[in-house]
Structure 1
Amino acid sequence: MTFQDYFPIWDKLDPRQQNQITSRLVFRTVQKGAVLHSGSLDCTGLLLVKTGQLRAYILSDEGREITIYRLFDRDLCLFSAACILRSIQFEVTIEAEKETALWIIPVEAYQSVMAESAPVANYTSELMASRFSEVMWLMEQIMWKSLDKRLAAFLLEETAIEGTRQLKLTHETIANHLGSHREVMTRMLRYFQSEGMVKLSRGMVEILDAAKLEGLRDGL
């Protein structure tokens, strides 16, 4: 599969515009833990995931992380091209959660095509709106949902993503996703274990009762 198969509006570009992008396209494979973008001053380019998984997160003033969205196969990240969004100061860090193969579309090439292509401009606006919807949803969760509900939702989401109930997650990793402290996560996970919802072992959380987690998540 080539870049053309992954870029959703490739057929809306004329040959010259297509060449503007492909002639400057960069393909990379990064290892788990690699940081691809860091902060609003870093203008990496647009990231289009071929295979793998990326995480976009922000840091609090105290240095705590919180995940704002994930990127999977065929997902395109705009926040890694911060200089396109000059009116938005969004301090996002993007790192690889798994080994990831991706294309980097240089900002200059994308901006040039977007300036003359209504389909690209519309697609960019829709993608940006979608990402901000995810951020607003996250803010609602933080403001209105208790941490135990958010933890239950996270564990269920991870189960769906990984396709297994045996999750290779440290307490610190979970805390980083949810914007909490490792010690708080440890206490909460031990409570979940005492209630028979999970089983804890070193670097592992095994889901024992998904239905009970779903009930907690949904407030039932």
Structure 2
Amino acid sequence: MQLQDFDFYDELTSDEQELLLKTLKPVSMDAGKILFYQGDITQDILLLEDGEVRVYMQGSGMNEITLYSLRQNEQCIVNTTSTINQIPTIGSAITTTPIRGYLLNKELVVKLMRDNSNYQSYIFSLLTLRLDSVARVLENIKFKHLDERIYEWLQAQKNPTIQITHEELANYMGSSRVVVSRILKKMERESLLKLSRGSIELIHNF
């Protein structure tokens, strides 16, 4: 187990580290699997060792908006808050790639929060980070046009060829597939990208 890569691990006492190693359950999942649904009360916390998870909210109109992405050696604050306080999650989580990680049960999380001030600080810093991420999402929705948000999202990806459907991109943007498809086709006519089934290839640096 590569728990040493998680920020909080070195802040635990040797007894807490030993208890953690005994308690954790390894988990692996394929891409496209739901970890929890909006409104669930979770009983375990995922420590993500490898892969990516998208955390999103779904409105009454069934449109989705991405709150943030969970990546290597991170812990989900939506999942954590629900588990610690036993309240419904404010969003859902889905694997966007195959993942590997560990499940940390509620009892141990509550114990660490109660007994270890360093772990408390870690959770609060995580909360601050995610609140900042959500604030940026809301700012983008309020002040930026959808085409600009799509441009920025495409530019931020690591590879020029992005494996994503129009519907998946619409979910990231909190919009409809029809609207996103119209914008992408306009960009294709402007020779900014090439659309293929299930992928978008950038052919010009915006």
Whether 1:62 and 2:61 are equivalent positions in the alignment is: yes
Alignment match, 1:176 = 171
TM-score (norm 1): 0.88
Q: Which residues of 2 match residues 45-60 of structure 1 at below 5 A?
A: 45-60=44-59
Q: 1:128 to 1:40 in 2, by over 3 A?
A: farther
Amino-acid identity (%): 25
Figure out how many residues of one structure are paired with residues of the other and give that number: 205
Instruction: Answer yes or no: is the 8 Å Cα contact 2:42–2:89 preserved in 1.
Output: no
Q: Which residues of 2 match residues 110-121 of structure 1 at below 5 A?
A: 110-121=109-120
Alignment match, 1:190 = 185
Q: Could you tell me which amino acid in structure 1 is paired with residue 41 of structure 2?
A: D
Whether 1:201 and 2:201 are equivalent positions in the alignment is: no
Write the distance in 1 (CA, Å) between the matches of 2:103 and 2:5.
12
Q: Could you tell me which amino acid in structure 2 is paired with residue 65 of structure 1?
A: E
Q: Could you tell me which amino acid in structure 2 is paired with residue 30 of structure 1?
A: M
TM-score (norm 2): 0.93
Instruction: Answer yes or no: is the 8 Å Cα contact 1:41–1:83 preserved in 2.
Output: no
Q: Shift of residue 89 of structure 1?
A: 5.8
Alignment match, 2:70 = 71
Q: Which residues of 2 match residues 129-144 of structure 1 at below 5 A?
A: 129-144=128-143
Q: Shift of residue 42 of structure 1?
A: 2.3
What do the CA deviations read for 1:173-219 (whole angstroms, capped 9, x no partner)?
A: 11011111111011000111111111112212110112x2xxxxxxx
Q: Could you tell me which amino acid in structure 1 is paired with residue 197 of structure 2?
A: R
Q: Could you tell me which amino acid in structure 2 is paired with residue 186 of structure 1?
A: S
Q: Could you tell me which amino acid in structure 2 is paired with residue 83 of structure 1?
A: T
Secondary structure at the aligned position of 2:55 is classed as strand
Secondary structure at the aligned position of 1:79 is classed as helix
Q: Runs in 1 of length 4+ with deviation above 6 angstroms? A: none
Write the distance in 2 (CA, Å) between the matches of 1:183 and 1:4.
43
Write the distance in 2 (CA, Å) between the matches of 1:25 and 1:62.
38
Instruction: Answer yes or no: is the 8 Å Cα contact 1:199–1:206 preserved in 2.
Output: yes
